[in-house]
Amino acid sequence: MRELTYYVAVSLDGFIDGPDGDVSRFPVEGDHIEMILREYVDTLPDVGLQALGLVATGERFDTTLMGWRTYAAGFEHTRDPYPHTRQVVFSRTRTAADAPDSITVTDEDPVAVVRRLKSEPGTGIWLCGGGALAGRLAGEIDRLVLKVNPVVLGDGTPLFRDPVVAPDYRLERSTPYRSGVVVNEYARR
């Protein structure tokens, strides 16, 4: 069965972005970036892959899940951020008419969608964001990969907003980088 991984950057105080969706305080240079390019290339948007001359293989993730706000955050660059994956965007107000044909926009229950995706063949499923969607899917998340950034944001979108059911996790690996970022990898108990 496929796994759902919530792979996301987070501040020391538990926010995945600051006020108004600002992520500018998260470091985008440093030795932790080398790990991302090596191990998580499937999570790079197409514009980044092209700029770096990289190719996403789909070995880690072949499906990307996100809420509308996370999806819309990249509109200044593209409306098809991860064409190398199957992209599912959850929204209660937007429809397929608001996105390119390569994006599935749905108001279906995220838990039902994830359970169906897990039963299909493929590699991993990446929960890209945001906090409200992560809260709804908390009971379905098999792995957490948190890029803990050495900043305090004070406000913004929490890692989980109102989780209904959240399992316990065990720490599998914690890797500190000279950049100050610490990547913590957890698996569901």
Q: Global pTM?
A: 0.97
Give the integer Cα–Cα distance in Å for 79 and 102.
10
pLDDT digits (tens, 9 = 90+) for 110-120: 999 999 999 99
Residue 166: the pLDDT is: 86
Could you tell me which CATH number the domain at 4-188 has? 3.40.430.10
Give residue limits of the domains in the chain: 4-188
Neighbours of 175 (CB within 10 A): 12
The pLDDT score that the predictor gives to residue 102 is 95
Residue 163's pLDDT is: 75
Residues 6+ apart with CB under 8 A from 44: 36, 37, 52, 54, 56
In the chain, helix, strand, coil percent, each to 5?
A: 25, 30, 45
Residue 92 burial (CB count, 10 A)? 8
Using the 8-state DSSP alphabet, how is residue 103 labeled? E
pLDDT computed for residue 58 by the predictor: 97
Residue 188's SS3 state is strand
Confidence at residue 88, expressed as pLDDT on a 0 to 100 scale: 98
Say which amino acid occupies 184: N
Q: Are strands 4-11 and 15-17 parallel, antiparallel or unpaired?
A: unpaired
**What pLDDT is attached to residue 106?**
98
Q: Name the helix (H) or strand (E) containing 149.
A: strand 143-149
φ, ψ dihedrals at 70, nearest 5°: -65, -45
Six token digits for residue 68: 């509308």
Which residues in the chain come in under a pLDDT of 50?
none
Q: Read out DSSP for 8-20?
A: EEEETTSEEE-GG
| CA distance linking residue 168 with residue 142, whole number of Å | 10
| Beta pairing class for 143-149 and 169-176 | unpaired
> What is the structure's pLDDT at 151?
98
Using alpha carbons, select from 106, 111, 55 the residue that is nearest to residue 83.
55
